[in-house]
Amino acid sequence: DSGVTQTPKHLITATGQRVTLRCSPRSGDLSVYWYQQSLDQGLQFLIQYYNGEERAKGNILERFSAQQFPDLHSELNLSSLELGDSALYFCASSVVADEQFFGPGTRLTVL
Amino acid sequence: AQSVTQLDSHVSVSEGTPVLLRCNYSSSYSPSLFWYVQHPNKGLQLLLKYTSAATLVKGINGFEAEFKKSETSFHLTKPSAHMSDAAEYFCVVSSDSNYQLIWGAGTKLIIKP
C-alpha cells in the first residue's frame, strides 16, 4: 500500500459525458501527478501540481483539467468523453523532487 | 533533453534463471534513475532508485541495477527469476526541470515454469 488513494476504482460512462477522478496523496506529500495508461499509448504524463499550483503539463488534452485543493487532494476532470479516453488513470504523489508513489488507479471505460 | 529507451518490449526467461532488462538513457546532466514495476491489474511500485551515490543499487525482491555513465545504461538484473516476477517494468529518468519523470515504454517480463 503506497498511501495514495484514488476513487472511484472503476468508472463506466458514455461518450460526451463528464467525469471527475479523485486522488488523495500520501500524508506530507505536496506534489501530485496524473498519468494516463492505455494499451496503444502506454504510460503518459498528464499534469503535475505542487502545493495547489500547476507545476508541469504533459500530454493533457484541452478537454481535461485538474486542480489541487488546500487539503492537497487533487481532482482530474475529463469532459466531452470519447471512446479513446478509456484508460487507466493513475495519480502519484511525492515529497522529494522525483521519487513518486502511485495510487491503485481508476479504470475509465467510455461506451 | 532527457530520454529513456528500453531495448526490449518483451523478455522471456525460465524460472530460476537470471533476468536482464535493458535500459539506456540520455541526459544533459547527472540524472536520477528509477525502475518501477507494475504487476497485472495493479498500480506502479518503485523497485529501486539511483541518485549519484553507489553505482550498484539494490532494490526490493532481489533486483538490482547498475548505473554505467560511460555506456549511459541502467540495466535491471536479478540472479534467479521467480514466477511472481512476471510483470511490466519501466525505466525512468528524472527531468532536469519541473520534477517530471521521463518514462520508458516498458518491458514485459514473462517467466516460464
Rounded distance between C-alpha atoms, residue A20 and residue A44, angstroms: 18
What percentage of residues in chain B have a pLDDT greater than 90? 71
Kindly state the cell numbers that stand for B70. Answer: 560511460
B24-39 burial by CB neighbour count: b if 16+ within 10 A, else e?
A: bbebeeebbbbbbbbe
* β A64-68/B3-6 pair status: unpaired
Does residue B72 sit in helix, strand or coil?
coil
Rounded distance between C-alpha atoms, residue A37 and residue A64, angstroms: 15
Residues of A in contact with B43 (CB under 8 A): 2, 90, 102-105
Q: What is the pLDDT of residues A45-91, one digit of tens each?
A: 899 999 999 988 888 999 999 999 999 999 999 999 999 999 999 99
Residues of B in contact with A55 (CB under 8 A): 98-99
Sequence-ordered list of residues with C-beta below 8 angstroms from that of B17, at least 6 positions apart, any chain: B80, B81
Cβ-defined contact of B32 to A98 (cutoff 8 Å): yes
Q: Is A94 on the interface with B (CB under 8 A)?
A: yes
Q: What is the pLDDT of residues B50-75, one digit of tens each?
A: 987 788 999 999 999 999 989 999 99
